[in-house]
């Protein structure tokens, strides 16, 4: 008789398949610090709604969460600005690369959504209101620690400095938006804060833990509420439609659950009411999303039946 299929077994099969995969994509090099990461790494962690964590591969090695931080920054900014945030950031998929500038002129400096770089820079500007940058970034790190129930989460300063030195494209985006009055603070202050948010380092286990509030419809796993249900659902909608830039449609088609990627090779994916998933493989595809991370999520969805479109 075949052994019963367990979530741990499914994860192990995925880890084995990904470890042997011939095409791992290419590690990001435009942030020099990220270019040093070993492309052979692969990790995965899944928190289920019963509080269990199943994990495999390099699930305890820290990586740069990069644009996955945009989910946490957005959650904080909505808490501060409420729906007024949507006067300064759109909610439409961009159909362009994460660092694209082309739509900003036609849309008078208003970014398409909070998950492309331009949008996250505006979200960071909102989070800076009433704070010096050091406090704003401290608040974000504290928030992520609270979500993950893990005080050891921190910023990798070397990665932050590395991006600060090379972030000309983000500088261009920020100055362009400032020229339209969309940013309230000086671009350098906003960018310094944004680069530090991107440089938060987490393991797959920590990231999956931090995503549990979205699995739980806005409730904190330790009890009480982090955000309202409606806000959690809206953040998930944006992850589904905008979380993978111009590959968001492809990921919705292949995986069918809301997910947010980062150029560090991580992806946070949420199955509402069921699971919070983190996967990490540093090699990226042409859209700047983790090549094997996307494939691993596809395999996991297939093997578990998890899908936004499967109510069962």
Annotated binding site: 67, 117, 163, 170, 194, 245, 263
Q: Verify binding: residue 193, ligand GLN, rule CB under 6 A.
A: no
CB of 257 to ligand GLN, least distance (A): 19
Q: Verify binding: residue 66, ligand GLN, rule CB under 6 A.
A: yes
Query: Among the options 190, 194, 255, 261, which is catalytic?
Result: 194
Q: Verify binding: residue 262, ligand GLN, rule CB under 6 A.
A: yes
Number of chain positions touching ligand GLN (CB under 6 A): 11
Q: Verify binding: residue 67, ligand GLN, rule CB under 6 A.
A: yes
Q: Cite the annotated binding site for substrate by residue number.
A: 67, 117, 163, 170, 194, 245, 263
Query: Among the options 263, 271, 281, 294, which is catalytic?
Result: 263
Closest residue to ligand GLN in the complex (CB): 67
Contacts of 272 (CB under 8 A, 6+ apart): 214, 215, 217, 233, 236, 258, 308
Query: Among the options 64, 67, 276, 294, which is catalytic?
Result: 67
Closest CA to 104 of 93, 119, 91: 119
In the annotation, is 64 catalytic?
no
Phi then psi dihedrals of residue 148, to 5 deg = -85, -10
CB of 215 to ligand GLN, least distance (A): 22
In the annotation, is 263 catalytic?
yes
In the annotation, is 73 catalytic?
no
x/- site string to ligand GLN, residues 270 to 299, per CB under 6 A? ------------------x-----------
In the annotation, is 123 catalytic?
no
In the annotation, is 70 catalytic?
yes
Give contact residues for ligand GLN (rule: CB under 6 A).
66-67, 98-99, 117, 163, 170, 198, 262-263, 288
Q: Which residue numbers are catalytic? A: 67, 70, 194, 245, 263
């Amino acid at each position: 008789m075949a052994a019963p299929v367990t979530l741990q077994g499914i994860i192990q099969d995925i880890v084995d398949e990904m470890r042997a995969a011939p095409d791992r994509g290419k590690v990001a090099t435009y942030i020099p610090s990220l270019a040093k990461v070993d492309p052979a790494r692969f990790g995965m962690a899944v928190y289920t709604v019963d509080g269990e964590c199943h994990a495999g591969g390099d699930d305890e090695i820290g990586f740069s969460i990069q644009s996955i931080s945009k989910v946490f920054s957005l959650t904080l900014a909505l808490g501060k600005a409420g729906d007024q945030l949507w006067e300064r950031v759109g909610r439409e998929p961009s159909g362009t690369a994460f660092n694209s500038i082309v739509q900003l002129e036609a849309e008078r400096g208003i970014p398409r959504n909070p998950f492309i770089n331009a949008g996250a820079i505006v979200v960071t500007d909102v989070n800076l209101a009433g704070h010096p940058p050091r406090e704003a970034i401290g608040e974000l790190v504290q928030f992520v620690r609270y979500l993950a129930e893990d005080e050891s989460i921190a910023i990798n300063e070397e990665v932050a400095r590395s991006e600060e030195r090379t972030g000309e494209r983000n500088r261009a985006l920020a100055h362009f938006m400032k020229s339209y009055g969309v940013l309230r603070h000086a671009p350098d202050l906003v960018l310094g804060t944004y680069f530090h948010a991107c440089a938060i380092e987490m393991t797959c286990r920590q990231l999956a833990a931090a995503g549990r509030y979205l699995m739980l419809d806005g409730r904190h796993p330790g009890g009480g509420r982090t955000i309202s249900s409606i806000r959690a659902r809206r953040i998930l909608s944006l992850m589904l439609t905008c979380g993978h830039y111009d590959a968001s449609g492809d990921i919705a088609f292949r995986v069918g659950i809301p997910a947010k990627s980062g150029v560090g090779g991580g992806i946070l994916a949420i199955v509402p009411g069921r699971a919070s998933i983190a996967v990490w493989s540093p090699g990226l595809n042409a859209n700047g999303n983790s090549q094997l991370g996307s494939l691993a999520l596809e395999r996991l969805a297939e093997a578990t039946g998890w899908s936004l479109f499967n109510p069962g």
